[in-house]
Structures are given as structure tokens and as C-alpha cells.
Amino acid sequence: MVEGIETGPVETLCFYHYPVHTSHSLSRVTLKYIPRRLRKFQNLKTLILVDCDVTLCLQGLSSCPTIDTLVVHSVHLTGPSHVGVVCRVEEFAVSRKRAGYPLRALTLVFPFVQPCPLELERLMSYVGRVEILGGGNAACWDVDEYLLSAATHESSAGGL
């Protein structure tokens, strides 16, 4: 996953279709694998999950203090283990807030489904800013464009 990457300056990490289900990956991927690897990233601020197993990717990351922005793109509202994606993100946001590292921003992208309004209300009480893209807005969402606009915004805002 992150072997051989210089971890010091990396601020944004994107997982795409993780884990890849092969006999080799299944033997290596555990709930502790991702948090153990990500703790090496001293400057990691943004974590992007594109059609990933959200439960697996977020397990144990509540204590990684540098991550302040989470983007979750999912074509389904439930993950492979039938755990609700929004519920798992909410658990993550709650654990981050309790640990003293609340999320600054959260973006949920659901191209074909719409989350329940009650779930979203609860999320908004744990995260600084919540953005939900569904339907047509989500269908054209692109991770590269997201990163470019974020970088442009930061540089034009004087690095804030």
C-alpha cells in the first residue's frame, strides 16, 4: 500500500478500490494494517477514499491527529460488510472529536444514492464543515479536479 513512499511531505493520500481482493492482499490486509502504515505520514492532512471498504480504511485512525479532512466517494450506502457508510463515517467523526482531533471538513460523494437527512444532521454536529454531493452533482465529481481546486484555493488564500 504505502511501502517505498517518502512519507514526510505527503499531505494528501487517496485510496482507490481498497483493498484489492486477491489472495495475497487478503492475507496482508487487517484492521491494523492501514493505521499502522499511515502513522508514518507526519504531515497527512487529507484522506480520500474512492469506492473503498470504509470500515477497513477508517478503523484505528481516530488517533492520527494530522488528518483533518476526509472525502468519501461511494456508489453504495453500505459497505462490503453491510455496515452503513454514513454510520461508519459518523463513528469515525465521533471518535476523532473525543480524541481531541475533530475533523475540519468532510465531503461525502454518493453518485447513485442519497443519504438519510437524519444521518447527515448528526454528522454535522461532529464535523466543522460537511458537504454532500449526490445525483448529478456527484456523477461528475473527479478526484483530480478536487485536488486541483483544493491546491488552487490554498495557494490563492495565502496558504491558509
Q: Which residue has the higher pLDDT, 76 or 87?
A: 87
Look at residue 112 and tell me if it is in a domain: yes
pLDDT at site 104: 92
Q: Alpha-carbon distance 114 to 139, whole Å?
A: 12
Alpha helices in 1-160 (DSSP H): 23-28, 33-38, 54-58, 85-98, 117-124, 136-139, 143-156
Global pTM value = 0.78
Look at residue 23 and tell me if it is in a domain: no
Look at residue 55 and tell me if it is in a domain: yes
Range of the domain at 79: 45-156
**pLDDT per residue over 96-139, tens digit each?**
888 888 899 998 888 777 777 777 788 888 898 888 887 777 77
Look at residue 21 and tell me if it is in a domain: no
Q: Alpha-carbon distance 95 to 86, whole Å?
A: 14
pLDDT band, residue 70 (cuts 50/70/90)? very high
Closest to 72 measured CA to CA, from 108, 119, 18, 25: 108
Look at residue 100 and tell me if it is in a domain: yes
Number of domains forming the structure of the chain: 1
Look at residue 130 and tell me if it is in a domain: yes
Residues 74/111, Cβ–Cβ less than 8 Å: no
